[in-house]
Amino acid sequence: MSVPSYPPRQLYYDGKTQPATSGKTFPSIDPSTGRVIGEIHEASTADIDAAIASAERAFPAWSQTPPIARARILQKAAQLLRERNDEIAATETHDTGKAFSETSVVDVATGADVLEYFANLVGGGGLNGETTQLREDAWVYTKKAPLGVALWKSAPCLAAGNTMVYKPSEFTSLHGETLAKIYTEAGLPPGVFNVVHGAGDVGAYLTSHPSVAKVSFTGQVSTGKKVASTAAGDMKYVTMELGGKSPLIILPDVDLDMAVDGAMMANFYSTGQVCTNGTRVFIPKSLKSEFEKRLVEKMQYVRPGPVMDPATNFGPLVSKVHYDKVTGYIRHGIEQDRATLLYGGLDKPKVPKDLEGGFWVQPTIFTDCTDDMRIVREEIFGPVMSILTYDTVDEAVRRANATELGLAAGVFTRDLNQAHRIIDQLQAGITWVNSWGESPAEMSVGGWKQSGVGVENGRRGIEMWVRNKSTLVDMSGSVATAFAKL
């Protein structure tokens, strides 16, 4: 297999690529092989200052650009993303390890969908305020104003009239420059979208910068708390989409094949590297044996292998650091938690010889699990399913809610009325019935409890990127006063 190679990825501000003044780079590694496929320029504090200054200079004009004009630019960017879908998806596969069968139909396409959704939303009056007549000659009106310079989540950010400095993960940095160039080609003015690269120190500097008005972060809970704390200290707006340990409850009347398919999608899609994963699968005791039998039978359809092969549907983990973390949890499940290993384990899956240096793990299923096990309590962010049994539905709901996290939850059943009753009791911000994982642009999503603050997507998603101004106008010709002559 030929090793892909990419030119160095530089920073991007003032509408063009810029070399990092730090003189430092870090490697981009193909997770499927463990080999270096490119170098990423690491931003210095001076570089970050320059990118933020670029965004500040661009903000007055961009924020005053009519929403319909902003919409046309974002619609053009969505069109370019779709036209270059396969090229961008191939890069994403080499960068993240996700199989091309996934990136080619999900990653780029959903990004374009979200861009188009918010472009259409603001272009169609989605940023209009409200007007209320208080009296015959007095009105209140509201206006939604952009925040300023923001971090992360470009579609609603730019649609709302903000400018942006984006820091991709240091483990998946190849796409940032590509997206910036597409925005520029679509007509986005210089400085509206900027990219800097680096690790946590770069993110920390960005978050604490006094010129940044909004911080949006996706990641693990512990990091999110630090980011939110720093942002809150300067009264910045924040959106946090953090971790989960989401319950998937299977009811006794379920179509068992459907439940098995749902559980597999909820645990093994994207190699389990999805924050909404339904990793705690609750099954009635009476169905445990048959559910596990069908689950193991269907595991043959999880196909690791060359990530560009259309038949491959299961890739490696994103990095060596993450591989060590996930395998550490699997080892703990076997040796300390002493759960029953139903499938998978610590041995790497069988892949071609040229992939043996990659960060591959087997999709793993533990059964006979209990709520106090570490593999059941903590987010693993990998392809590790825990099967738990229950006697009554009320018990399953109570145990499902017994976590500090509340990102997602779901129910599989033929009884829609019961599904609604259970969903209403589950303490999670994103819920599904007889489905798992779909999160269209039209659906506002966000976590409860320790899993996040604010929402993304949908009509409510745009509200996270504007600030409200309310104005009362009185044209009566007099002012009601308490200080009149007696």
Per DSSP, the residues of 9-48 read B-EEETTEEE--TT--EEEEEETTTTEEEEEEEPPPHHHH
92 is catalytic: no
Choice among 42, 170, 241, 456 that is catalytic: 241
Q: 11 has which bridge partners?
A: 18
For residue 210 the two structure tokens come to 């006094």
Distances (CA, A) of 402 to 5, 365, 380, 397, 399: 47, 21, 17, 9, 5
Residue 88: alpha-carbon gap to chain centroid? 18
Q: How far apart are CA 170 and CA 195, in angstroms?
A: 12
Contact present, 380 and 368 (Cβ < 8 Å): no
Burial of 65 by CB count in 10 Å (0-12 exposed, 13-18 middle, 19+ buried)? middle
Query: Distance of alpha carbon 107 from its chain centroid, rounded?
Result: 11
Q: What are phi and psi of 377, to 5 degrees?
A: -85, -35
Neighbours of 229 (CB within 10 A): 11
DSSP 84-115: THHHHHHHHHHHH---HHHIIIIIHHHHHHHH
- How far apart, in whole angstroms, are the C-alpha atoms of residue 397 and residue 31? 38
Strands 11-13 and 16-18: antiparallel
Alpha helix locations (H) across 234-314? 256-268, 288-298
Q: Which residues contact 391 (CB under 8 A, 6 or more apart)?
A: 284, 285
Q: How far apart are the C-alpha atoms of 40 and 168, rounded to whole Å?
A: 11
Contact 346, 327 (CB under 8 A): yes
Catalytic residues: 241
